[in-house]
Structure 1
Amino acid sequence: MATKYVYFFGDGKAEGKGDMKNLLGGKGANLAEMTSIGLPVPAGFTLTTDVCTEFYKNDRQYPAELKGQVDEKLRQVEKLMGKKFGDSKNPLLVSVRSGARASMPGMMDTVLNLGLNDKTVQGIIEQSGDLRFAYDSYRRFIQMYSNVVLEMDGDILEHILEQMKESRGVEEDTKLTAEDLKELVTLFKTKVKEEIGREFPDDPQEQLWGAIGAVFGSWMNPRAITYRKLNGIPAEWGTAVNVQSMVYGNMGDDCATGVAFTRNPSTGENVFFGEFLINAQGEDVVAGIRTPQPINKAGGDGTLPSMEEVMPECYGQLMKIQQILEKHYRDMQDIEFTIEKDKLYMLQTRGGKRTAKAAVKIAVDMVKEGLISEKEGVLRVEPEQLDQLLHPSLDPKAAKDVIAKGLPASPGAASGEVVFSADEAEEAAKIGLKVILVRVETSPEDIHGMHAAQGILTARGGMTSHAAVVARGMGKCCVAGCGDIKVDYKTQQFTAKGNVIKKGDVITLDGSTGEVMKGEVPTVQPELTGEFGILMGWVDKYRRLRVRTNADTPHDAKVARDFGAEGIGLCRTEHMFFEADRIMAVREMILAEDLEGRKRALSKILPMQKGDFLGLFREMKGLPVTIRLLDPPLHEFLPQSDEDIEELAGVMNVTAATLKHKVEFLHEFNPMLGHRGCRLGVTFPEIYDMQVQAIMEAACELVKDEGYQIVPEIMIPLVSEVRELAILRANAVRIADEVVGRYGVEVEYLIGTMIELPRAALTADAIAEEAEFFSFGTNDLTQTTYGLSRDDAGKFLPFYVEREIFPNDPFVAIDQAGVGQLVKVGCDKGRATRPNIKLGICGEHGGEPSSVIFCHQIGLDYVSCSPFRVPIARLAAAHAVLLEEQ
């Protein structure tokens, strides 16, 4: 049998169904479903997504059977409507619209009033008795077809229209007379021939196939491609094409068109919400050429009459239909309708786009109303949506002057005066100034300025660069890798597309879009409503995967705990070393000439580290805390400026020249692969000894004095060979047991490692002999697996994703085929040696939904992520369970 490529709908009967979105697209499936449940839908037919696939596979050629199937369905529509396509006396006009399986509003092309020419327009005049309406429809068709199918610049014919309105002294299209519009048709057709070198097509069949080809072609237009990438829609899905009988909202004051939502898409309130226009076509509502009127009295401000007031019968019918649709689909619907001569027609229904706040409220309300189950309620909210709820956002009503765009590295919005150094940011914050820290790139030494700033902007770096990772951990707005800006520290300014922004100038960042704006743009604070708590209660009921946080300070730990974190999966002790009250002692330790000198400096740091751990343990109140021993290379802590070197030389009683030579000696060309992590612990064991002592003394004090139950998890980073871990574990056990004995208490502790090198994953069975837990550091594991620097790859990774060399940025979503398999191998080998080994990940992937679902699938015990992503990870973990059940 020949493949069926075309599906008919009309007069209460449809060949398709609502669950056929993969084949008929969302619009086609829903048109079929609405028809089947008895709603007034103009007759038509749908060309399937398979046609789109064939179209692109075969150099834009259609399957051989398609033409005959389209002709057959077109005859069915003609018979049902009592009109004939291309007939000069009683013509059938159609719309040609796209319809992908996932909603892509406004991304692809549409053609209305198709079938008009100089002969059929006379038939429309006879049908309607309205000369003006007929020629208005004709000129609209020529405008739309020329732009969509003939690929003319839309401004060309729009300019002729504007000239006509100006010459007639009118501001709106509706004020032009029938003769004006007839003249416009002639002017338009003349201009089209001038532009494309041939006559505007008169043959309705040629028009139809031109429009079908253009709609299939629009699947690959730039805005559709961008939208798919932003929303994770695969290119191979393709779009369907819907050909449908025209109904007219612009035949007079008893006609209208509109768009509505069954609930408020901004707040989630259970109130019918929407807009309409009298005597208008659908594109008039979307284009905003005229001010739309509210659907009902509740949705307006009283300045314009509502549909409820001026068309009460149609409004009543629409109210019944929207209730039928919401009950039938069991979700908030986005509907389009047209009223022709007081008769209501439904043109579309689909699941409505909604804000995060609305998504949560609608899900919870629908469970309470008995429309959906708790599990369905959890699945109705997308994990990434929660970002909107947890950070301030720009006021959508405010004007903004965008001067640059980078990567949306950490969500939220922030305004402030520009500063170019961490010290300036800290000093400004002390006197109450709000600042944006602008750097070429940040380093751990900038941590104090990042903490003090409202937001961070960097010219270099990717989604998991230092700036991005730290900003997300702090809940700070960050735009990273903004190649549009050129930073000049010497002149204390940056340039962006001709704009010069100097120190002290105010800018605004939107960390959710990557936009950089001149001046201050007002923000609105998020609201965590009661519905949020109810939803998260359901989430925790169904998930298996535990969720911890990456936190280095008591403040971060408290934020994460308030968001539902179940412990700390990564405390990066190096961030503590950069605090102003200890950086000098750290530098003394690094630059000391002998062991005794290092120990003297470390004795100054010990009580400070102990205080840090006391704060974290107290905030976590008995929940597990994993503390990573020092990881970065030592040169990152050293002074770089001559001024700082001279200051340290005075403290250490050595010459500045001697100190500068030592700083230069310690510099590394490729520090990511250099003298860092456990390699520091092997060569300078006294550093790790001090840290283990501080951890265990803090734990023992709280157990002895405050009755805490604590099981510290001491994590040794960057192990590649089990003998490294064996040496460092033996040292840690010696120190820990000595502290426990000194305090006279019983404190259990775990010693494990961070798996962040491919060799460690491949030899995890041996490493598990010495490790009681593994935490997969997927940031570094991705770097070492791909041979990519996350701080530099931002220059070309977007190109790789755009060209589909990589399906996603591997630093954003875990590479399941490569890095993910290393994690799985590490888990399997680790459990083979030690069945009860605790397994988790602490890279940035721990808060990315698809990565969280992958971690659930391979059986990890927990994920760890930045505090503001904890609710996202919790929701994704629940989705992982519920999607398995489907």
Structure 2
Amino acid sequence: MTQYVFRFGGGVSDGDDTVRGNKNLLGGKGANLDGMASIGLPVPPGFTITTEMCTAYYANGQSFPDSVRAEVAHGIAHIEAVTGKSFGDASDPLLVSVRSGARVSMPGMMDTVLNLGLNDETVEGLAASSGDPRFAWDSYRRFIQMYADVVLELDHGAFEEALEIAKEDNGYYLDTELTAGDLKSLVSEYKNLVEAQWGKPFPQNVQDQLWGAVGAVFGSWESERAKVYRRLNSIPSDWGTAVNVQAMVFGNMGETSATGVAFTRDPATGENAYYGEYLINAQGEDVVAGIRTPQYLTTAARERAGAKPLSMEEAMPEVYAELARVFAILETHYRDMQDIEFTVERGTLWMLQTRSGKRTAKAALKIAVDMAAEGLISEEEAVCRVDPMALDQLLHPTLDPDAPRDVLTKGLPASPGAASGKIVFDADTAEQFAQMGESVILVRVETSPEDIHGMHAAKGILTARGGMTSHAAVVARGMGRPCVSGAGGISIDAKDKVLRTGGRSFGEGDVITLDGSTGEVMAGEVPTLQPELVGDFGTLMVWADKARRMKVRTNAETPADAQTARDFGAEGIGLCRTEHMFFDAARITAVRQMILADSEAGRRAALDKLLPEQRSDFAGIFKVMAGLPVTIRLLDPPLHEFLPHEESEFADVAQAAGVGIELLKQRASELHEFNPMLGHRGCRLGVTFPEIYEMQARAIFEAACLLEIAPVPEIMIPLVGTKRELELMKEVVDKAAEQVFAEQGRRIEYLVGTMIELPRAALMADKIAECGAFFSFGTNDLTQTTLGVSRDDAARFLSVYVDKGIYERDPFVSLDIEGVGQLIEIAAQKGRATRPDIKLGICGEHGGDPASIAFCEATGLDYVSASPYRVPIARLAAAQAALRG
């Protein structure tokens, strides 16, 4: 029989070596709780219900078999034996927490229930056994509020409102000012709210409470916010979550108790300094939810911020010293920066969680490089520690230090980077504005997990409440969004959509700027500067380049883009789309004249005007890429993309061509296609109008011959489906080359190959390779033609397909390895069978996607090509693929 429950703590650890530390089975939290207990750290006893049970829970119609109920009862008995308390005992009750724990960290996305086991009888027992009636009624108040929200799914706002009214009626500012009597009255009001909204009394049976909470935590795996987070972070939906049930320890038992969140290194900068916050007389949710603004962990951090409340280092020096000892043990054991949750109960430290901490790209680089220097990890491990996509954060601009700033207020620098945008006050509006191309700043009193889609859409996040480890801060750092949290100098009226600070008001649509590195909030837009990628970045890239096998090129059509890519380490150009050069305002008339001409003579007249322009374009790119390969795709898109639409545009073309407007309109009508993306484009243009490709080839070779250090032109014929198409186009290119070489008295090396973007081309690759020296996989169109899906229109339904598991990820973002990938493998195998030295690369947008790059490494491609700003991502991903392969 499958075992679904594994115990930890109190000297007990279930399972063999295949179970211990197995995050796939126990989830990250469960595996690390067992790990911490096994190395002697103070962990409250508990048990983990596995991720396999999550899958079975849904398969069984969201129910639990009797065998699992028996295993859980055995787990509760284990906690009772270690603590000496009994679950549901009216005199000295055992209380437990019920928390989620997926394989990978999903901060704030799934549910937690604390203080479970309290009812009208056990609260009296807790008051007596603890000697603190206020603590007991505060815990019961918290439990009802959390259980009503998470398990019963009642209106959370009604309970918050009741709490605020209770404070106002008594003239209190903080929750901690409520007396035992106040809290007892509040509990009574909470129970009335439950009965009014739920239609039944609050559940008093502790077993019912437990199974309700376990089901709710498993259920939260399928919550909308969890689905969005999984989609944004490419987490498979079939992984499921584990559930951890653990003895409660209490940080809300007076001034010698506390709760906190800490990192063993600074997650924003990577500095080797403890980083974190704590709250005295509080429970963990108070810190991560941003309900109260916490105090600093270290004296140095408090002094840097100019804060007055004592740090933990000052207020609880003995506990802080024990915590620092635990930090050192955990970093050595897990060999990574740890994100830790802890509770202090009446002066005793308890560890509630450890995991590899979320960090900014800058911090990830520094931590990886520093740990390698410290001997904790190897250079190869350091390369594999940094998420390639996180490097995108390093390309974020910073504010120009010399630009004027109208500083409105200052909050906590929760996530670095700078962003300007229009103010929006809710997540849905942020998403709507972003879809219209607007840059937005999401402004909230505090964020919640339901805001995940708006946080992703926003350029930056500003909150009035919360600390450096609040939900907003953690999620923003993970996404690479600048965030300023805990900006106490602002008031937010979300209903009327107004932000007020310092006597000034700002409404929805007004522009503000955030500096996530300093915490400053400014009116208007402040100019930015592009960062320089040096220091730790440079060090890690050197290590990555030593490890990788594949070359990394760029997709570029201008000298500026080519130079940017070279600065980022590009080793050539994998795709130069010549049609992008034709859209220039000074050239489009000649292009249209060429398209609309009804004779070869007319086309050649227009092409003669374009030849020097094309030659100049190529010369500029070749100069930047001197000595490196440059793959140039000859004209590819359907001609309709260049055609005029306005009356004035027809007039300009008619005048340039010396023909009447009506004749041109008739010609445009003749060129109309019902499905132009599958029509007269690519090599089909070259077959019917060879003079177009002839002009482009001449421009390429003339430009190459101008340079002392010539590049290696790789001339790519697009949309080939048959060997004969490539033969005909190669003849055109070779003829132009020989003519130019004769005229210039100089020969240069060049290759002619094709872009594989049709399924037929992949299947006939052995024949096509007979005259093609290289294949470049155009995965954008290959995905379209294989799946029968238009990339331009698919956004309307692809997210639904991903949510329903039809596609694991958007196939235009990450390669469809099962389908499109199989065609690439077939083409690579067949191409090499005919021509063993054939050069193979990929130049679609997938060339900058780490998962797709890993596939390219496994398939043995020679290079990937990515947009200039993704070249560093591709270099690191290629290195990781080589090391893991």
2:147 equivalent to 1:148: no
TM alignment of 1:119-268, pairs within 5 A: 119-268=121-270
Counterpart in 2 of 1:429? none
The alignment-based identity, stated in percent, is 61
Q: 1:15 — aligned with what?
A: 14
Query: 2:5 corresponds to which residue?
Result: 6
Query: 1:591, CA displacement in angstroms?
Result: 2.5
SS of 1:714's equivalent in the other structure is: strand
Corresponding residue SS for 1:235: coil
- Compare 6-15 and 856-865 and name the one that shifted more: 6-15
1:699-714 alignment, distance < 5 Å: 699-702=704-707, 706=708, 708-714=709-715
Residue aligning to 1:816:
817
Paired position in structure 2 for 1:880: 881
Name the SS for the 1:405 alignment partner: helix
CA shift, 1:344, in A, is: 0.8
d(CA) in 1 for partners of 2:661, 2:422: 52
What letter corresponds to residue 13 of structure 2 in structure 1?
A
Q: Which runs of 4+ in 1 moved over 3 A?
A: 393-400, 406-415, 505-510, 518-527
Would you say the 8 A contact 1:249–1:278 is kept in 2? yes
- C-alpha distance in 1, partners of 2:678/2:524? 41
1:307 is the counterpart of 2:324: no
Aligned to 2:553: 548
Q: Does the CA contact (< 8 Å) of 1:248 and 1:339 recur in 2?
A: yes
Alpha carbons of structure 1 residues 522 and 221: separation in structure 2 relative to 1, 3 Å: farther
CA shift for structure 1 position 525: 5.0
Residue of structure 2 equivalent to 1:327: 332
C-alpha distance in structure 1 between counterparts of 2:169 and 2:286, whole Å: 22
Query: How far off is 1:223 after superposition?
Result: 1.3
The amino acid across from 2:7 in the alignment is F
Please give the alpha-carbon distance, in whole angstroms, between the structure 1 residues aligned to 2:637 and 2:510: 34
CA shift for structure 1 position 276: 0.3
Equivalent-residue separation in structure 1 for 2:200 and 2:805 (angstroms): 38
Determine the structure 2 residue equivalent to 1:448. none
CA deviation vs aligned residue, 1:401-439 (integer Å, no higher than 9, x gap) = 264527989999799xxxxxxxxxxxxxxxxxxxxxxxx
Conserved? CA contact 2:420–2:526, under 8 Å? no
Of the candidates 577, 586, 599, which is equivalent to residue 581 of structure 1? 586
1:736 and 2:759 equivalent?
no
Counterpart-to-counterpart distance in 1, 2:737 and 2:70? 81
Task: For residue 154 of structure 2, give the secondary structure of its aligned residue in structure 1.
Answer: coil
Task: Check conservation: 2:420, 2:525, Cα contact below 8 A.
Answer: no
Work out the CA distance in 1 between the residues paired with 2:335 and 2:572.
37
Q: What's the CA shift string for 1:157-182, capped at 9, x where partnerless?
A: 22222222221121221111111111
Instruction: Tell me the distance in 1 between the aligned counterparts of 2:53 and 2:574.
Output: 49
Q: Distance in 1 between matches of 2:252 and 2:420?
A: 30
Specify the alignment match of 1:482 in structure 2: none
Match of 2:405 in 1: none
How far apart are the structure 1 equivalents of 2:377 and 2:437? 31
From 623, 645, 662, the counterpart of 2:667: 662
CA deviations over 1:69-109 (Å, ceiling 9, x no partner)? 22222222212212111111121111111111111111111
Gap change, CA 1:221 and 1:867, over 3 Å in 2: same
Q: Is the 8 A contact 1:400 1:521 kept in 2?
A: no
* Mapped pair 1:367 → 2:393: no
Native 8 Å contact 2:97 2:116 kept in 1: yes
Contact persistence 1:550–1:569 (CA under 8 A): yes
1:719 matched residue in structure 2: 720
* Residues 287-296 or 796-805, more deviating: 796-805
Q: Is the 8 A contact 1:588 1:601 kept in 2?
A: yes
SS of residue matched to 2:8:
strand
**Aligned residue in 2 for 1:869:** 870
SS of aligned partner of 1:237: coil
Which residue, 561, 565, 569 being the options, matches 1:560?
A: 565
2:66 partner SS: coil
- Deviation (angstroms), 1:18: 5.3
Which blocks of at least 5 consecutive residues in structure 2 are unaligned? 399-416, 442-458, 460-480, 482-495, 499-508, 515-522
- Return 5+ residue gaps in structure 1 as ranges: 416-454, 456-476, 478-496, 500-504, 511-517
Question: SS of 1:241's equivalent?
Answer: strand
Aligned partner of 1:395 in structure 2 is 418
Conservation of the 8 A alpha-carbon contact between 2:397 and 2:418: no
* 1:352 counterpart letter in structure 2: G
Amino acid at match of 2:431: K
Residues 679-703 of structure 1: per-residue CA shift (max 9 Å, x gap):
111111111111111111111222x
Mapped to 1, the partners of 2:227 and 2:725 lie a distance apart of: 49
- 8 Å CA contact 1:95–1:244 kept in 2: the answer is yes
Does the 8 Å CA contact 1:392/1:412 hold for their aligned counterparts? no
Residue aligned with 2:238, SS = helix
What are the Cα deviations for residues 630-668 of structure 1, in whole angstroms up to 9, with x where unaligned?
A: 111223222211112112222222222222222232222
Question: 1:79 is matched with which residue?
Answer: 81
Q: Deviation per CA, 1:487-524, whole angstroms, max 9, x where unpaired?
A: xxxxxxxxxx999xxxxx987999xxxxxxx9758867
Amino acid aligned to 2:697: V
Residues 506 and 520 in structure 1, CA contact (< 8 A), matched pair in contact too: no
SS at the partner of 2:865? strand
What residue in structure 2 maps to residue 424 of structure 1? Answer: none
Q: Pick closer, same or farther for the CA change 1:123–1:414 going to 2, 3 Å.
A: closer
Report the 3-state secondary structure (helix = DSSP H, G, I; strand = E; otherwise coil) of the residue aligned with 2:136: helix
Q: CA deviation at 1:709?
A: 4.2
The amino acid that maps onto 1:400 is: I
Q: 1:791 to 1:719 in 2, by over 3 A?
A: same
Displacement of 1:398 after TM fit?
8.6
Aligned pairs for 1:449-848 (under 5 A) are 520=525, 525-526=530-531, 528-702=533-707, 706=708, 708-848=709-849
Name the Cα RMSD after superposition. Answer: 2.6
TM-superposed deviation, 1:22: 1.4
- Report the alpha carbon displacement of residue 382 of structure 1 after superposing the two structures with TM: 0.9
**CA drift at 1:196:** 1.6
CA deviation string 1:254-285 (max 9, x = no partner): 11100000011111111100000011111111
Counterpart secondary structure, 2:276: strand
- TM-score scaled to structure 2, two decimals? 0.86
Contact 1:201 1:207 in 2 (8 A): yes
Q: Give the match's secondary structure for 2:40.
A: coil
Residues of 2 paired with 1:353 and 1:777: CA distance?
35
Contact 1:15 1:32 survives alignment (8 Å)? no
